[in-house]
Chain A
């Protein structure tokens, strides 16, 4: 178990800046997700924590001790890569035992520990199978067993489920979450899948364009994205220009209380499911210009006047294209950003 602190970590590959001023604290025993699109630098950050990359500047602390210059072997962190990295020339048993052998443990002890962990990952009795004989999910479990059997303080997972079928993915997510709760190690999970990050972790760190944009529990990230960039990344964002006057955001969709300073140029963000549609008549009205039925949800595009159009996610599928509908927003569902903050 370890508490990890990253202070002002930057990483440059030549002239290219991969990470800018990352400051992050990961609590002991926490499950944290590093969420971001491909190329945002999250894997590099994971490697820096693991000791496989050195930061260009900044420090890395484990339990308040500076480990920045320590090599990967000395750290108590183990990384499981996307392709599992099983040793192809060794059996499952030899793979799992590898870390224990490196630590010079006794043969009998090793055999017992391997047996126990294989039981935990539901691969009992598979000690003499070769990796080539295993399915994707089984290889995944062997990789996890190999990492967990040495009781790491920190487990780092780099997009561990992206090579699995959807059906397997859900099962493995629950499996890892349960394993983490049972063995109580600190776990950092890198993923580009929002759902995965939200379902598995206690807190999510959103990394966009090489910067850490926000660290918070999943619901806060989703409902209250700190910046427009984060909101855009979550998807489902609609923007309405307006003003903030005396603690109220005023725009074409109404007036709602916000905790923001007064400004003339503000952008209100409403998520697709914060806007509700009803039969024409009460309140603001708009016209349905597009409709996509997707089973559980229906996606509408609603236009209010020539300049304003937004995407609405609804559980009702009653409205048709061309229909006039009433538009209402939940007053608590708005996030306000300064208008100048336009992403390139």
Chain B
């Protein structure tokens, strides 16, 4: 049975928008939940609405602002540290042929293959001895352990596909290492960089156990603030935090993309 062009087009559009709706619908119901005081079973909409959950979250003594600030700060620092390590590592893995290359690639993924608590407990003792626990730096380091696999993976692929030829050509024309990095390497890996940065930010932002263990209860982040609410059943407050979480992440992404676009002004990078 063959689909005619228009019919096929309509069918695929239908499937696409169904998936889109299915993805967005939970977020919408989450949004509704933030103002729901009561929503008994057979009803399709809440019976009683209330602003009190939102008020609770943003009440001055709730440390929401502190937690948000910490989360963003840690996520940004984690992203920077991750990229600082991942770019040279990925360049080596992607461009050079050395013995044990496949093994190293696999090892880089290790932190994702075991439960994060095992890795964290393992590092906890050493970090206590180094005095890193209870500090922002300590939390950033432990987050980086879990963001590096994604960043290295993405950037290694980018470097493998890109190859060295453009850098070589630039060097031949007399460019210094810095000029090659700024004008050739970074613009060409930019999509990979954005992808790695995004993943790092999100992974760091969502960290719970690691922040809890290494932060020692002294560093407060958004997940630490609202997971207890989930456990105790106050889902509306958790829903407000969730939306706060989503908005912050989207905001950070928008700022990053905007800044990059402005900085490089290259039509090539904007093409899909």
B13–chain A nearest beta-carbon distance, Å: 30
A81 close to chain B: CB less than 8 A: yes
Chain A residues whose CB sits within 8 angstroms of the CB of B171 once the complex forms: 71-73
Count class of interface residues, chain B: 20 to 34
The residue of chain B having its C-beta at the shortest distance from the C-beta of A75 within the complex is B172
A130 close to chain B: CB less than 8 A: yes
A79 to B168 alpha-carbon distance, docked (Å): 10
A98 to B183 alpha-carbon distance, docked (Å): 9
Which residue from B165, B184, B268 sits with its C-beta under 8 Å from A83? B165
Q: How many residues of A contact B (CB 8 A)?
A: 25
Chain B residues whose CB sits within 8 angstroms of the CB of A283 once the complex forms: none
A261 close to chain B: CB less than 8 A: no
Of B44-52, B55-63, B173-181, which stretch is located at the interface? B173-181
The residue of chain B having its C-beta at the shortest distance from the C-beta of A99 within the complex is B173
A284 close to chain B: CB less than 8 A: no
Quick one: given A50-B172, A78-B172, A103-B174, are A89 and B165 in contact (CB under 8 Å)?
A: no
A306 close to chain B: CB less than 8 A: no
A90 to B179 alpha-carbon distance, docked (Å): 14
A321 close to chain B: CB less than 8 A: no
Q: Tell me whether chain B's interface is mostly helix, strand or loop, or mixed.
A: helix
**Contact (Cβ within 8 A) A98 B172:** no
B29–chain A nearest beta-carbon distance, Å: 43
Which residue from A73, A78, A85, A130 sits with its C-beta under 8 Å from B166? A85
Binary flags per residue of B148-174, CB closer than 8 Å to A gives 1, else 0: 000000000000000001101111111
**Contact (Cβ within 8 A) B169 A81:** yes
Interface set, chain A 19-62, CB cutoff 8 A to B: 50, 52
Quick one: given A81-B165, A87-B166, are A146 and B269 in contact (CB under 8 Å)?
A: no
**Contact (Cβ within 8 A) A85 B169:** yes
**Contact (Cβ within 8 A) A102 B188:** no
**Contact (Cβ within 8 A) B268 A146:** no
A198–chain B nearest beta-carbon distance, Å: 28
**Contact (Cβ within 8 A) A98 B165:** no
B267 close to chain A: CB less than 8 A: yes
A237–chain B nearest beta-carbon distance, Å: 38
B256 close to chain A: CB less than 8 A: no
A52 to B165 alpha-carbon distance, docked (Å): 11
B84–chain A nearest beta-carbon distance, Å: 23
**Contact (Cβ within 8 A) B268 A130:** yes
A150 close to chain B: CB less than 8 A: yes
Given contacts A98-B170, A102-B175, 12 further A-B contacts (CB under 8 A): A52-B168, A73-B174, A78-B173, A85-B169, A87-B166, A89-B187, A89-B188, A99-B174, A102-B170, A102-B174, A102-B179, A150-B173
What are 10 sample pairs from A and B whose C-beta atoms fall under 8 A apart? A73-B175, A79-B172, A87-B169, A89-B188, A89-B266, A98-B175, A102-B170, A130-B267, A146-B173, A147-B173
